[in-house]
Chains A and B, each alone.
Chain A
Amino acid sequence: MTTAIEINCETGEVTERPLTAEEIADREAAAAQAAADALAAEEAAAAKAAAKASAEGKLAALGLTADEVAALLG
Protein backbone atom coordinates (compact mmCIF):
# COMPACT_ATOMS: atom_id res chain seq x y z
CA MET A 1 0.00 0.00 0.00
CA THR A 2 1.30 3.43 -0.91
CA THR A 3 1.31 5.83 1.98
CA ALA A 4 1.90 9.49 2.71
CA ILE A 5 3.58 11.03 5.74
CA GLU A 6 2.61 14.34 7.29
CA ILE A 7 4.74 16.13 9.85
CA ASN A 8 2.96 18.85 11.78
CA CYS A 9 5.64 21.46 12.41
CA GLU A 10 3.73 23.02 15.31
CA THR A 11 3.04 19.86 17.27
CA GLY A 12 5.78 17.58 15.95
CA GLU A 13 3.15 14.91 15.35
CA VAL A 14 3.93 12.52 12.49
CA THR A 15 1.04 10.71 10.81
CA GLU A 16 1.21 8.07 8.11
CA ARG A 17 -1.88 7.23 6.09
CA PRO A 18 -2.88 5.56 2.81
CA LEU A 19 -3.25 7.83 -0.20
CA THR A 20 -6.76 9.00 -0.99
CA ALA A 21 -8.33 8.25 -4.37
CA GLU A 22 -7.86 11.91 -5.28
CA GLU A 23 -4.16 11.79 -4.43
CA ILE A 24 -3.71 8.63 -6.48
CA ALA A 25 -5.41 10.31 -9.44
CA ASP A 26 -3.22 13.40 -8.98
CA ARG A 27 -0.08 11.26 -8.96
CA GLU A 28 -1.11 9.49 -12.16
CA ALA A 29 -1.88 12.80 -13.85
CA ALA A 30 1.44 14.24 -12.67
CA ALA A 31 3.30 11.21 -14.00
CA ALA A 32 1.63 11.58 -17.39
CA GLN A 33 2.44 15.29 -17.44
CA ALA A 34 6.05 14.62 -16.46
CA ALA A 35 6.39 12.06 -19.25
CA ALA A 36 4.93 14.49 -21.77
CA ASP A 37 7.23 17.25 -20.55
CA ALA A 38 10.26 14.99 -20.79
CA LEU A 39 9.33 14.02 -24.35
CA ALA A 40 8.88 17.67 -25.31
CA ALA A 41 12.28 18.51 -23.81
CA GLU A 42 13.92 15.67 -25.72
CA GLU A 43 12.30 16.78 -28.97
CA ALA A 44 13.43 20.37 -28.40
CA ALA A 45 17.00 19.22 -27.69
CA ALA A 46 17.00 17.05 -30.80
CA ALA A 47 15.70 19.91 -32.95
CA LYS A 48 18.40 22.21 -31.56
CA ALA A 49 21.11 19.64 -32.27
CA ALA A 50 19.82 19.14 -35.80
CA ALA A 51 19.80 22.90 -36.42
CA LYS A 52 23.38 23.15 -35.16
CA ALA A 53 24.52 20.29 -37.39
CA SER A 54 22.80 21.92 -40.35
CA ALA A 55 24.49 25.26 -39.61
CA GLU A 56 27.88 23.56 -39.31
CA GLY A 57 27.36 21.87 -42.67
CA LYS A 58 26.44 25.12 -44.38
CA LEU A 59 29.43 26.95 -42.89
CA ALA A 60 31.73 24.16 -44.00
CA ALA A 61 30.25 24.41 -47.49
CA LEU A 62 31.23 28.08 -47.49
CA GLY A 63 34.83 27.06 -46.95
CA LEU A 64 35.27 27.46 -43.21
CA THR A 65 37.54 24.94 -41.51
CA ALA A 66 36.30 22.76 -38.66
CA ASP A 67 38.28 24.89 -36.20
CA GLU A 68 36.72 28.07 -37.56
CA VAL A 69 33.23 26.61 -37.32
CA ALA A 70 33.94 25.48 -33.77
CA ALA A 71 35.20 28.95 -32.88
CA LEU A 72 32.03 30.48 -34.25
CA LEU A 73 29.56 28.08 -32.64
CA GLY A 74 31.39 27.44 -29.42
Chain B
Amino acid sequence: MPVTYQLIASNVLSSNVASITFSAIPSTYTDLVLRASVRKNQATTATEFYIKPNSDSGSNYSFTMVYGTGSVATTSSFASNTNGLLIRYIDGTSNTANTFSSSEIYIPNYNSTATKPISSFSVEENNTTSATMAVQAHLYAGTSAITSLLIGVPSLTILAGSSFYLYGIKNS
Protein backbone atom coordinates (compact mmCIF):
# COMPACT_ATOMS: atom_id res chain seq x y z
CA MET B 1 0.00 0.00 0.00
CA PRO B 2 1.47 3.42 -0.91
CA VAL B 3 2.26 5.90 1.85
CA THR B 4 -0.23 8.73 1.47
CA TYR B 5 0.40 10.61 4.75
CA GLN B 6 4.08 11.22 5.33
CA LEU B 7 6.02 13.24 7.89
CA ILE B 8 8.11 15.87 6.08
CA ALA B 9 9.75 17.53 9.08
CA SER B 10 9.14 18.29 12.74
CA ASN B 11 10.52 20.23 15.65
CA VAL B 12 9.92 20.26 19.38
CA LEU B 13 11.21 23.56 20.73
CA SER B 14 13.96 23.22 23.33
CA SER B 15 13.98 26.97 23.97
CA ASN B 16 11.69 29.94 23.43
CA VAL B 17 11.76 31.32 19.89
CA ALA B 18 10.19 34.16 17.91
CA SER B 19 9.41 32.06 14.89
CA ILE B 20 9.88 28.71 13.25
CA THR B 21 10.15 28.23 9.50
CA PHE B 22 9.73 25.10 7.44
CA SER B 23 11.72 25.88 4.29
CA ALA B 24 12.40 24.01 1.04
CA ILE B 25 9.09 22.15 1.31
CA PRO B 26 9.14 19.55 -1.46
CA SER B 27 6.54 19.87 -4.22
CA THR B 28 5.97 16.13 -4.43
CA TYR B 29 2.75 16.05 -2.43
CA THR B 30 -0.77 17.21 -3.20
CA ASP B 31 -1.66 18.67 0.22
CA LEU B 32 0.07 19.70 3.44
CA VAL B 33 -1.02 19.14 7.03
CA LEU B 34 0.54 21.05 9.90
CA ARG B 35 -0.13 19.78 13.41
CA ALA B 36 0.95 22.13 16.16
CA SER B 37 0.93 22.05 19.93
CA VAL B 38 1.61 25.60 21.06
CA ARG B 39 1.98 27.82 24.09
CA LYS B 40 3.12 31.43 23.94
CA ASN B 41 4.19 34.05 26.48
CA GLN B 42 1.01 36.12 26.44
CA ALA B 43 -0.70 36.55 29.77
CA THR B 44 -4.17 35.94 28.43
CA THR B 45 -6.05 32.98 27.09
CA ALA B 46 -7.75 32.89 23.70
CA THR B 47 -4.78 33.97 21.63
CA GLU B 48 -3.41 33.05 18.23
CA PHE B 49 -0.34 32.31 16.19
CA TYR B 50 0.20 33.12 12.55
CA ILE B 51 1.36 31.19 9.53
CA LYS B 52 2.76 33.06 6.55
CA PRO B 53 3.23 30.93 3.43
CA ASN B 54 6.44 31.96 1.66
CA SER B 55 6.85 34.65 4.40
CA ASP B 56 4.20 36.65 2.52
CA SER B 57 3.24 39.86 4.37
CA GLY B 58 0.80 41.15 1.76
CA SER B 59 -2.92 41.79 2.36
CA ASN B 60 -3.64 38.22 1.37
CA TYR B 61 -5.26 36.67 4.42
CA SER B 62 -8.95 36.32 5.28
CA PHE B 63 -10.91 33.95 7.48
CA THR B 64 -14.37 33.08 8.72
CA MET B 65 -14.55 31.41 12.11
CA VAL B 66 -16.96 29.61 14.42
CA TYR B 67 -15.77 29.48 18.01
CA GLY B 68 -17.03 28.85 21.49
CA THR B 69 -16.41 27.28 24.86
CA GLY B 70 -19.13 24.66 24.85
CA SER B 71 -22.29 26.66 25.43
CA VAL B 72 -22.86 29.29 22.76
CA ALA B 73 -21.09 29.29 19.39
CA THR B 74 -20.11 32.64 17.94
CA THR B 75 -18.97 33.62 14.49
CA SER B 76 -16.36 36.08 13.36
CA SER B 77 -14.66 37.05 10.13
CA PHE B 78 -11.62 39.00 9.14
CA ALA B 79 -10.81 40.11 5.59
CA SER B 80 -7.69 41.09 3.70
CA ASN B 81 -5.30 41.39 6.61
CA THR B 82 -1.52 41.27 6.49
CA ASN B 83 -1.03 39.30 9.69
CA GLY B 84 -0.93 35.85 8.14
CA LEU B 85 -3.25 32.91 8.64
CA LEU B 86 -4.34 33.59 12.20
CA ILE B 87 -4.82 30.27 13.98
CA ARG B 88 -7.09 30.61 17.00
CA TYR B 89 -7.21 29.64 19.84
CA ILE B 90 -3.97 28.68 21.53
CA ASP B 91 -2.59 28.61 25.04
CA GLY B 92 -1.08 31.64 26.74
CA THR B 93 0.54 31.88 30.13
CA SER B 94 -2.86 32.26 31.82
CA ASN B 95 -3.72 28.72 30.80
CA THR B 96 -2.91 25.91 33.20
CA ALA B 97 0.83 25.48 33.62
CA ASN B 98 2.56 23.13 31.21
CA THR B 99 -0.45 22.83 28.92
CA PHE B 100 -0.39 23.36 25.17
CA SER B 101 -3.12 23.95 22.62
CA SER B 102 -3.74 21.54 19.74
CA SER B 103 -4.13 22.76 16.17
CA GLU B 104 -4.43 21.11 12.81
CA ILE B 105 -4.11 23.14 9.63
CA TYR B 106 -4.97 21.56 6.27
CA ILE B 107 -3.49 23.16 3.16
CA PRO B 108 -4.88 21.52 0.01
CA ASN B 109 -3.28 21.92 -3.40
CA TYR B 110 -0.31 23.89 -2.06
CA ASN B 111 1.50 23.74 -5.39
CA SER B 112 -1.30 25.66 -7.07
CA THR B 113 -0.68 29.11 -8.51
CA ALA B 114 -4.26 30.14 -7.73
CA THR B 115 -5.59 31.47 -4.41
CA LYS B 116 -5.86 28.76 -1.78
CA PRO B 117 -8.61 27.82 0.68
CA ILE B 118 -7.17 26.49 3.94
CA SER B 119 -8.97 25.06 6.96
CA SER B 120 -7.95 24.83 10.59
CA PHE B 121 -9.21 23.41 13.84
CA SER B 122 -7.75 24.46 17.16
CA VAL B 123 -8.56 24.05 20.84
CA GLU B 124 -7.00 25.33 24.03
CA GLU B 125 -5.97 23.02 26.82
CA ASN B 126 -6.95 24.37 30.21
CA ASN B 127 -7.76 22.76 33.54
CA THR B 128 -10.81 24.93 34.17
CA THR B 129 -14.46 24.79 33.20
CA SER B 130 -13.81 26.71 30.00
CA ALA B 131 -11.53 26.25 27.01
CA THR B 132 -12.12 27.86 23.66
CA MET B 133 -12.15 25.91 20.42
CA ALA B 134 -12.44 27.24 16.90
CA VAL B 135 -12.98 26.04 13.36
CA GLN B 136 -11.75 28.40 10.67
CA ALA B 137 -12.09 28.65 6.92
CA HIS B 138 -9.16 30.68 5.63
CA LEU B 139 -8.47 32.13 2.22
CA TYR B 140 -4.87 32.75 1.27
CA ALA B 141 -4.85 35.02 -1.78
CA GLY B 142 -1.20 34.45 -2.66
CA THR B 143 -0.76 32.91 -6.09
CA SER B 144 2.62 31.25 -5.78
CA ALA B 145 3.18 27.63 -4.93
CA ILE B 146 3.90 27.28 -1.23
CA THR B 147 7.53 26.37 -0.58
CA SER B 148 7.89 27.56 3.01
CA LEU B 149 5.78 28.19 6.09
CA LEU B 150 6.74 30.86 8.61
CA ILE B 151 5.08 30.37 12.01
CA GLY B 152 5.21 33.03 14.68
CA VAL B 153 3.54 35.27 17.23
CA PRO B 154 3.76 39.07 16.87
CA SER B 155 6.25 40.61 19.32
CA LEU B 156 6.02 37.57 21.59
CA THR B 157 7.71 34.19 21.74
CA ILE B 158 6.59 30.62 21.26
CA LEU B 159 7.49 28.75 24.42
CA ALA B 160 9.76 25.74 24.77
CA GLY B 161 7.89 22.46 24.59
CA SER B 162 5.72 23.64 21.71
CA SER B 163 5.85 21.19 18.82
CA PHE B 164 5.28 21.35 15.08
CA TYR B 165 4.83 18.45 12.67
CA LEU B 166 4.50 19.02 8.92
CA TYR B 167 3.03 16.20 6.85
CA GLY B 168 2.61 15.74 3.13
CA ILE B 169 -0.44 14.08 1.60
CA LYS B 170 -0.22 12.11 -1.61
CA ASN B 171 -3.16 10.95 -3.64
CA SER B 172 -1.37 7.83 -4.80
Contacts and interface: CB of A to CB of B under 8 A. Distances in A.
- Residue with the greatest number of chain A CB neighbours at <10 A, chosen from B13, B18, B24, B78: B18
Contact of B21 (A6, A27, A31): A6
Interface stretch (B105-113, B130-138, B149-157): B149-157
A30 B155 contact: yes
B96 interface: no
B155 A5 contact: no
Contacts, number: 73
A19 interface: yes
Contacts of A33: 81-83, 154
Nearest to B155: A31
A7 B10 CA distance: 8
Nearest to B50: A30
Interface string A4-41: 11111111101010010001001110110110010001
Contact of A37 (B57, B78, B166): B78
Interface in A24-61: 26-28, 30-31, 33-34, 37, 41
B139 interface: no
Contact of B19 (A4, A9, A11, A34): A4
A14 B166 CA distance: 14
Interface string B38-78: 00000000000010000001000000000000000000101
A3 B15 contact: yes
A4 B11 CA distance: 13
A16 B19 CA distance: 10
25 contacts: A4-B17, A5-B11, A5-B17, A5-B19, A5-B21, A6-B20, A6-B21, A7-B20, A7-B22, A8-B23, A9-B9, A9-B24, A10-B24, A11-B24, A12-B9, A14-B11, A27-B154, A27-B155, A28-B155, A30-B57, A30-B82, A30-B83, A30-B154, A31-B155, A41-B78
Interface of B: 8-11, 13, 15, 17-26, 50, 57, 76, 78, 81-83, 152, 154-157, 166
Interface of A: 2-12, 14, 16, 19, 23, 26-28, 30-31, 33-34, 37, 41
